[in-house]
């Protein structure tokens, strides 16, 4: 499905990114793994899937996304075919704490929006006259539903990513640049609620009766990257067990 394709997956040392890198490799892709922390896990995964590269980069640093793309492109031999913007952070931005509010909004917009969009910009510039490529962005149902009272900054950052992806998809479809966005609800990762009461509340609002598994997000991502449904470019796809439908 992804034979002879090179895929850059950000935030691939755990959770959805880890599962996505595995799924893409199993589909035949050459995977380049990005990580910020969890170096040992990232290196183990790179060895397991025979990755084309493994790159450390802190996307909260301005300019890091541009440097990541250039390094990944070099590792790929000059051509990256697909990008998965999975790296993201979840910070509290409580109204009553001015410091946390300001730093949380800034950091989340840097990582969740600016870095992701800088990677898309690099990809589109490379692909515009070179046959196109595919991008999958991992956003959140919070982009549409909103999030908890202390996480307005997170919801806003994911909403911004959705809007940017739609805009770029419309603009660059003529060059066969395909851009999709997934908006999961709770996923079985470190970000999911683990306290008994919080877990019960989270599951209670999901008609399917459970949180999503990382492999479900990974499977959808690999399919979209395959180009088998190019007409879906620009789409935002909900994966949340019917807990929020638009």
CA distance linking residue 182 with residue 162, whole number of Å: 9
Can you give the CATH number for the domain in which 201 is found?
3.40.50.720
User: pLDDT of 39-93, one tens digit each?
Assistant: 999 999 999 999 999 999 999 999 999 999 999 999 999 999 999 999 999 999 9
pTM more than 0.85:
yes
Which residues, 6+ apart, have CB-to-CB distance to 9 below 8 Å?
17, 20, 21, 24, 31, 32, 33, 34, 84, 86
For residue 188, what pLDDT band results from cuts at 50, 70 and 90? Answer: confident
Mean pLDDT, residues 22-34: 98
Structure tokens at 214: 């990382």
Number of Cβ within 10 Å of residue 60's Cβ equals 16
Residue 244 lies inside a defined structural domain of this protein: no
Q: Give pLDDT, residue 196.
A: 45
Residue 52 lies inside a defined structural domain of this protein: yes
Check residues 194 and 217 and name the one with the higher pLDDT.
217
Domain of residue 53: give its range.
6-235
Structure tokens at 98: 């001015």
Q: How many domains does the chain have?
A: 1
Strand partners, 177: 133
Q: Give pLDDT, residue 201.
A: 83
Residue 195 scores a pLDDT above 90: no
Mean pLDDT, residues 151-170: 98
Residue 245 lies inside a defined structural domain of this protein: no
Residue 246 lies inside a defined structural domain of this protein: no
Residue 59 lies inside a defined structural domain of this protein: yes
Residue 55 lies inside a defined structural domain of this protein: yes
Closest CA to 158 of 86, 60, 74, 62: 86
- Catalytic positions, written as ranges: 154
Q: Tell me the average pLDDT of the chain.
A: 95
Residue 242 lies inside a defined structural domain of this protein: no
SS3 content of the chain, % helix, strand, coil (to 5): 50, 15, 35
CA distance linking residue 191 with residue 83, whole number of Å: 23
C-alpha pair distances (Å), 177 with each of 100, 122, 212, 222, 229: 38, 12, 28, 16, 13
C-alpha pair distances (Å), 191 with each of 45, 114, 199, 224: 20, 21, 11, 24
Residue 33 lies inside a defined structural domain of this protein: yes
C-alpha pair distances (Å), 136 with each of 169, 202, 210: 11, 26, 24
CA distance linking residue 187 with residue 222, whole number of Å: 17
């Amino acid at each position: 499905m992804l034979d002879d394709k090179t895929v850059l997956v950000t935030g691939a040392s755990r959770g959805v990114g880890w599962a996505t890198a595995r799924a893409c490799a199993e589909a035949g892709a050459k995977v380049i793994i990005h990580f910020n922390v969890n170096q040992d896990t990232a290196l183990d995964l790179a060895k397991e899937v025979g990755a084309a590269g493994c790159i450390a980069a802190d996307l909260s640093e301005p300019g890091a996304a541009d440097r990541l793309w250039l390094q990944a492109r070099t590792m790929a031999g000059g051509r990256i075919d697909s990008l998965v913007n999975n790296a993201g952070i979840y910070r509290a931005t409580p109204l009553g704490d001015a410091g946390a509010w300001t730093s949380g909004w800034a950091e989340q917009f840097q990582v969740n929006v600016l870095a992701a969009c800088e990677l898309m910009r690099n990809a589109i510039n490379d692909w515009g006259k070179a046959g196109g490529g595919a991008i999958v962005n991992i956003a959140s149902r919070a982009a549409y539903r909103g999030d908890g009272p202390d996480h307005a900054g997170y919801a806003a950052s994911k909403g911004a990513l959705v809007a940017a992806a739609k805009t770029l998809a419309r603009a660059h479809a003529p060059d066969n640049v395909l851009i999709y966005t997934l908006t999961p609800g709770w996923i079985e990762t470190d970000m999911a609620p683990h306290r008994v009461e919080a877990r019960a509340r989270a599951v209670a609002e999901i008609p399917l009766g459970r949180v999503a598994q990382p492999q479900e997000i990974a499977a959808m991502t690999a399919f979209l990257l395959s180009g088998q449904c190019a007409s879906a470019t620009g789409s935002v796809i909900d994966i949340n067990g019917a807990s929020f439908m638009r």
